[in-house]
């Protein structure tokens, strides 16, 4: 290892120490003033990142830590989920996801045309904001004890369906309009994703219970939690290989382990690893991506896009729940839980930028809108939960 590489690693260790200290203080202050602690963690990223103090900058090591954080967060969500409840509310989840994709795409296409974007670029704005990142909503639902309710189950189910739809739409549009050299094979992607969900069923039904039983017999400390992490990371990795989000694999891995006898042991041992270390890094990494270089030059565009991003998902998701019999306040919780865009929208935006489906001069503004909608989403969800109660 060269001296430069050693310095980079030591700097990263210092950044982690700063992140953990700052997020702990911010979480305590957030709870004292009555806002979700995740908001404090996001704002720590904005404060420490390039937008303000510039003490922490995006990098490969921070990104890797954040990726593990969101995977563990969604693994814990799957572990805490009631599979029967998810099955029961799968139909409203389909409705929420469908309207939660159609409405943002239609609204952003109209907005893009008004802002003089070409047909494919206007459509791709809609593709970017059709995505949902449920990881932040999961943390807020868990904090307020609403994860294992009909609203929580609908949000989780809808997020999985939403993710699949967004990936398929992305594949179609990149293959049709991309001017890049590399274009995905849509038919192959669909076959791979179908095969993945067959594998998910096999893992939940047979593989996970068998592996957990085998590792229970090993005379090794923490062998069962280690096996659960292997299942989690393995399913996340394979999901990513098929073009799905890694968080889908992590979520189903959590559901698989939850069906075994080791459920409580795994939850007790994995939760401190995630919530004390990796999850704060994930939330800070979102804030670190925010900057204000051209913010004021395009403030009206950014505000307009942010309003459309929030309302289209809130109304689309809420309407999907309302159609299938949810009360107004329950539908409001579901719609608010779908607003966050997070890493899914960032990934789609990056693919669109590389494929020349997004105007380069508006790419930064689009990123700011994604992050603003992600920061506002937990506040909206907290307000919806308060109304429900």
Name the domain count of the chain: 1
Kindly state whether residue 160 falls inside one of the protein's structural domains: yes
Kindly state whether residue 344 falls inside one of the protein's structural domains: yes
Q: Rounded to a whole number, what is the largest CA-CA distance in the chain?
A: 66
Kindly state whether residue 59 falls inside one of the protein's structural domains: no
Q: Which domain holds residue 86?
A: 67-282+290-388
Q: Which residue has the tokens 């995905």?
A: 184
Q: What is the pLDDT of residue 260?
A: 92
Of 155, 101, 92, 151, the closest CA to residue 323 belongs to 92
Kindly state whether residue 38 falls inside one of the protein's structural domains: no
Kindly state whether residue 101 falls inside one of the protein's structural domains: yes
- Looking from the CA of 48 toward its CB, the CA atoms found within 13 Å total 28
Kindly state whether residue 30 falls inside one of the protein's structural domains: no
Q: How far apart are CA 95 and CA 319, in angstroms?
A: 9
Kindly state whether residue 173 falls inside one of the protein's structural domains: yes
Q: What is the pLDDT of residue 181?
A: 44
More confident residue, 46 or 185: 46
CATH of the domain at 142: 1.20.1530.20
| Average of per-residue pLDDT values in the chain | 88
What digits encode the pLDDT tens for the residues 93-109?
Answer: 999 999 999 999 999 99
Kindly state whether residue 49 falls inside one of the protein's structural domains: no
What digits encode the pLDDT tens for the residues 57-91?
Answer: 888 889 899 999 989 988 998 898 888 888 899 99
Alpha helix (H) residue ranges in 208-290? 208-216, 223-241, 246-258, 263-273, 279-288
């Amino acid at each position: 290892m060269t001296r430069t590489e050693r310095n980079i690693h030591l700097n990263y260790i210092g950044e982690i120490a700063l992140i953990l200290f700052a997020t702990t203080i911010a979480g305590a202050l957030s709870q004292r003033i009555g806002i979700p602690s995740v908001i404090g963690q996001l704002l720590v990223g904005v404060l420490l990142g390039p937008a303000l103090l510039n003490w922490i900058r995006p990098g490969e090591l921070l990104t890797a830590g954040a990726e593990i954080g969101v995977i563990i967060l969604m693994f814990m969500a799957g572990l805490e989920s009631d599979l029967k409840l998810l099955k029961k509310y799968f139909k409203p989840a389909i409705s929420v996801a469908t309207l939660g994709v159609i409405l943002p795409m239609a609204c952003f296409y109209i907005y893009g045309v008004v802002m003089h974007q070409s047909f494919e670029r206007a459509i791709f704005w809609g593709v970017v904001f059709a995505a949902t990142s449920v990881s932040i909503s999961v943390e807020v639902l868990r904090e307020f004890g609403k994860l294992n309710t009909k609203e929580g189950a609908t949000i989780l189910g809808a997020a999985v369906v939403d993710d699949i739809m967004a990936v398929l739409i992305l594949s179609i549009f990149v293959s049709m309009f991309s001017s890049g050299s590399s274009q995905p094979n849509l038919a192959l992607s669909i076959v791979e994703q179908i095969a993945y969900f067959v594998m998910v069923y096999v893992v939940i039904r047979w593989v996970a219970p068998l592996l957990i039983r085998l590792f229970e017999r090993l005379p090794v400390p923490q062998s069962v939690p280690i096996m659960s992490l292997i299942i989690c990371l393995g399913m996340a990795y394979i999901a990513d290989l098929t073009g799905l989000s890694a968080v889908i694999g992590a979520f189903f891995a959590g559901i698989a382990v939850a069906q075994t006898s080791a459920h409580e042991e795994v939850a007790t041992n994995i939760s401190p690893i995630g919530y004390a270390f990796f999850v704060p890094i994930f939330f800070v990494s979102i804030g670190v991506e925010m900057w204000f270089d051209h913010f004021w030059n395009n403030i009206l565009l950014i505000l307009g896009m942010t309003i459309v991003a929030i309302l289209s998902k809130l109304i689309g998701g809420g309407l999907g729940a309302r159609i299938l019999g949810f009360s107004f306040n329950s539908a409001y919780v579901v719609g608010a839980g779908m607003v966050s865009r997070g890493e899914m929208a960032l990934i789609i935006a990056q693919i669109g930028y590389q494929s020349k489906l997004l105007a380069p001069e508006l790419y930064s503004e689009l990123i700011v809108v994604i992050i603003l909608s992600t920061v506002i989403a937990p506040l909206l969800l907290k307000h919806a939960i308060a109304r429900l109660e």
